[in-house]
Amino acid sequence: MGQKVRTYIVRGMRCAGCSGKVEKTIAQLPGAENVSVSYATGMLTLTSTQEQLDDETIFAAVKKLGFTAELPPKDPAEEERKEALQLKKQLRDLTVSIIFTVMLTIVAFSHIISGIRLSGIVQLILLFPVLWAGRKIFIAGLPALFKLRPDMDSLIACGSGAGTLYSLYLLISGTVNCHYHFDSAAMILTLVMLGRTLEHRARNKVSSSMRELLKLTPEYATVITNGTEEKVPVHSLQLNAQIRIRPGEKVPADAAVTSGNSFVNEAMLSGEELPVAKAPGSKIYGGTINVDGVLEAKVTALGENSELGQIIKLVSDAQNTRPPAAKIADKVAGVFTWIIFSLSLLTLVLWLVSGAAFATAFNYALSVMVAACPCALGLATPIALIAGIGRGATLGILIKNGTALENCAKAGSVIFDKTGTLTSGQPEIKNVMVYPESRITGKELLEIAAAAEKNSTHPLAAALEAAAGNADITVTDFKNVSGSGISCTIFGSKWRFGREAFACNGKELQYPIPEDFAGSTLIFCSREDTPIGIISAGDALRTETPQVIAALEKLKMHSIMLTGDNTSAAARCAESCRIAEFYSECLPAEKAGIVREISQESHRPVIMVGDGINDAPALTNADVGIAIGSGTAAAMESADIILQKSDLRGVCNVIKLSRAVFRVIKQNLFWAFFYNFGILPFAAGLGTLWGGFSLNPAICAATMAASSLTVVLNALRLLKFKVDK
């Protein structure tokens, strides 16, 4: 049995350090490969088979670390309910903590308010509800410290606990008329809980795009059993079940229509707003909307095997990947807690050595301990990726991994396949030339050629009919000569259309082929074996292609064209698109080699855009492969990014989105480092040495909470990213 990617939900993680511990532990289990844990999404992914590593072993390993792991629920609504319940509990604990912290602070500073210093025992009593509300921090943080694997909770537990224990010492020793640190301990816990609650809500909003995808399928399906209808939850549907979809209802699963006719809106898959006609034998897809008629269908695919399921899995996997930009932050976050413990101890020792009172030295050491937060560093990259990849999914841009997104942001060149990418892939009539002696007009020649080709399956038949219209011309003695052309009788004369040798029957042309016919597909026309004209046809340029090339130039991207067509046809297309550099007459393997060469010579990532089977090698060899919506399955499989809508403007949107994501990542990393390292000198009291100021533990706790919240809120801006239309 081959390996496959397995996904789990990990609950209880509180910082990037937590995700790092889970990842390291699971990676050490036999059979676990490519392990990745995302704090931002709470997802654990790994590669293995059930025989190599069963679920119970993973659950047990995660439980030893103080967290819980479980399989993703089949019903998306169930996960949403669990998230809501978790948030409700957080809000309850936070409310208790805020109420008693405010009361405790008033009591602690009562001597300023009323001139009466209330007892430290009253402060201690008011602290107990705050300690209960923040109990999870101590339950998780202290055992992690004792196991020499400290995390963010260890810092907070030590900071708050140290303040409490030192204040208890002062209280028990009978020290009076002093300021206890009970209020600081309470403020630290309350501000951390406030920050985490706000961060939790913001992270949920960042992940909203994934929930929107999950909500595309309805909760219930109408199943027909022995002629009787029954409403069943979609997650309990079985393969081959017979379902009924009424007008206005969403299709619950991928299925094949067995009866009925209707139009189905498939915009969520294709990006095209026009409904698609469906009849018996047609395929319909889960999440699409039945517009008018009643359809009955047999379920053909469920869950991850459905079209929507594959999109959701692709987006989920991409959101859990780590691009190179995240590695530095991950390394720093991994050792961050030990660094802060060391700096806190060093601060205490240095202030004591300098002759400061223990209370002063302790206050500065406590401030250092609670000032820094590895959460902001750990969140800086993944939260932006989640928002960017999620936003892309809602816009019809499916991004398979974060590395592709980073390479896209850094790319300097875009290489386009010609046929089906820069062009529509559908031929159109370009020019018509008739010989003067033929005594026929160009329009009449087109009408005759279209009538003759009407019985042909050649791709040019539709192009001729579109150009000439449906003229009422009788055709007899029709004969198709494979690879050469057709012959028939029209108006009592024998006509031939096709290649020069066939149509002209070996006779030389009376006039040279015009220069503007070069690079086109030529249809030679003869009557009674006498050449009378030539029709040129070519692939139609997409209407948006020139606009896209111009937009890429503004983005400082160099555009290149690759094609298997002849040099003349390639040159004409490149000129129409205003692409200066192109390669023609390329085989699939040669395309892949050219892509590699361009990437090596430019020393920057290269983007390849294609749609056909022959583009698959080039898409694979490019730093970023982009497949457009009308492409083949091979192109989709080989690409790193898929544009669901067959519109080249999506290429510009991908580049703009990737640049926006990594602009946010850089901003997040700046703020994370600024909060965590810029605040430390003031927390340590160094500002007082030069007549400046210092920060007390409560303010440090507030800045620590603000650091995580800042990077999450900054990432939220990506959810409003606008695309070109």
Average pLDDT for 308-316? 68
Instruction: Return the CATH number at 281.
Output: 2.70.150.10
CA 48 from centre of chain: 24
Which of 514, 541, 568 is a domain's end point? 541
Average of per-residue pLDDT across 659-688: 84
Beta bridge partners of 431: 536
Q: Which amino acid is at 643?
A: L
Tokens standing for residue 226: 């022995």
Q: Which residues, at least 6 apart from 307, have a Cβ–Cβ distance to it below 8 Å?
A: 254, 269, 285, 286, 301
Residue 483 lies in a domain: yes
Which of 257, 286, 301 terminates a domain? The answer is 301
Residue 487, phi then psi, degrees to nearest 5: -135, 155
Comparing 42 with 648, the larger pLDDT belongs to 648
Structure tokens at 460: 């040019």
* 250: DSSP letter: B
pLDDT at 100: 93
Starting at the edge strand that comes first in sequence, how are the strands of the sheet with 43-48 ordered? Answer: 33-38, 43-48, 4-11, 68-70
Q: Indicate whether 688 belongs to any domain.
A: no
Residue 375 banded pLDDT, cuts 50, 70, 90? low
Both structure tokens of 126: 């008011």
Q: Give the pLDDT band of residue 654 (cuts 50, 70, 90).
A: very high
In this predicted structure, what is the pLDDT of residue 374? 64
Strand 289-290 vs strand 262-265: parallel, antiparallel, or unpaired?
antiparallel
Q: How confident is the model at residue 79 (pLDDT cuts 50, 70, 90)?
A: low
Mean pLDDT of 172-178: 70
Strands (E), 439-547: 476-481, 485-490, 493-498, 521-527, 530-541
Q: Which two three-digit tokens encode residue 396? A: 């019809």
Radius of gyration of the chain (CA): 34
Query: Which pTM does this prediction carry?
Result: 0.66
Determine how β-strand 558-562 pairs with β-strand 413-417. parallel
Q: What CATH number is attached to the domain comprising 478?
A: 3.40.1110.10
Alpha carbon distance 541, 552 (integer Å)? 17
pLDDT at position 330, please?
57
pLDDT at 5: 73
- Among residues 84, 78, 82, the alpha carbon closest in space to that of 68 is found at 82
Distance CA 484, CA 67 (A): 71
Alpha helices in 173-207 (DSSP H): 182-206
CB 552 within 8 A of CB 414: yes
Looking at 90-94, 110-114, 292-296, 685-689, which range is the least confident one? Answer: 110-114
417 catalytic residue (yes or no): yes
The larger pLDDT score, comparing residue 20 to residue 595, is at: 595
Domain total of the chain:
3
Report yes or no on 615 lying in a domain: no
Residue 244: left (phi > 0), alpha (psi -120 to 50), or beta? beta
Asked whether residue 129 carries a pLDDT value surpassing 80, the answer given is yes
Selection from 418, 403, 370 nearest residue 568 by Cα: 418
pLDDT of res. 128:
93
What confidence tier does 317 reach under pLDDT thresholds 50, 70, 90?
A: low
Indicate the helix (H) or strand (E) that contains 473: none
As to burial, measured by CB atoms within 10 angstroms (0-12 exposed, 13-18 middle, 19+ buried), residue 658 is buried
Q: What is the pLDDT, as a whole number, of residue 581? A: 92
pLDDT at 272 over 70: no
The mean of the pLDDT values for the chain is: 80
Decide: 253 and 297 in contact? Cβ < 8 Å.
no
CATH of the domain at 45: 3.30.70.100
Stretch 527-547: mean pLDDT, rounded? 86
Give me the residue label for tokens 């909500």: 215
**286 within domain boundaries:** yes
445 close to 535: Cβ distance less than 8 angstroms = yes
Kindly report the CA angle at 556 between 642 and 398, in degrees rounded to 5? 10
| Domain end among 72, 106, 122 | 72
Assign residue 336 a region (left: φ > 0; alpha: ψ between -120 and 50; beta: otherwise). Answer: alpha
pLDDT of residue 95: 92
E-strand stretches of 339-401 = 397-399
Which tens digits make up the pLDDT trace of 480-511? Answer: 876 678 899 998 899 999 888 888 887 878 78
State which H helix or E strand residue 167 sits in: helix 152-172
Selecting among 151, 153, 330, 417, the annotated active-site residue is 417
Range of the domain at 291: 238-301
Q: Using alpha carbons only, what angle is made at residue 475 by residues 474 and 476, rounded to the nearest 5 degrees?
A: 125
Is 60 exceeded by the pLDDT of residue 209? no
Task: Please count the other Cβ atoms lying within 10 Å of the Cβ belonging to residue 670.
Answer: 12
Share of the chain above pLDDT 90, in %: 12
Strands in 289-290's sheet, in edge-to-edge order, are: 276-278, 262-265, 289-290
List Cα–Cα distances, 342 to 164, 186, 349, in angstroms. 21, 24, 11
Determine the 3-state secondary structure of 317 from DSSP: helix
Structure tokens at 454: 């009407």
Name residue 221's amino acid. Answer: A
632 confidence band (pLDDT: 50, 70, 90): very low
Residue 556 clears pLDDT 90, i.e. is over it: yes
Mean pLDDT score, 265-274: 62
Maximum mean pLDDT: which of 177-181, 210-214, 266-270, 533-537: 533-537
Residue 205 — very low, low, confident or very high, per pLDDT cuts 50/70/90?
low
Element (H or E) spanning 695, and its range? none
- Tokens 């532990």 correspond to 25
* Residue 18, domain member (yes or no): yes
Q: How many CA atoms lie within 13 A of 692 on its CB side?
A: 11
Does the residue 189 lie in any domain?
Answer: no
The verdict on residue 604 lying in a domain is no
- Segment 247-264, tens digit of pLDDT: 888 888 889 999 888 888
Which of the pair, 279 or 691, is modelled with greater confidence? 279
Name 3's Cβ contacts closer than 8 Å, sequence gap at least 6: 33, 47, 48, 49, 52
Average pLDDT score over residue span 609-618: 74
φ/ψ of residue 488, rounded to 5:
-165, 175
Whether residue 20 lies inside any domain: the answer is yes
Residue-level pLDDT at 378: 66
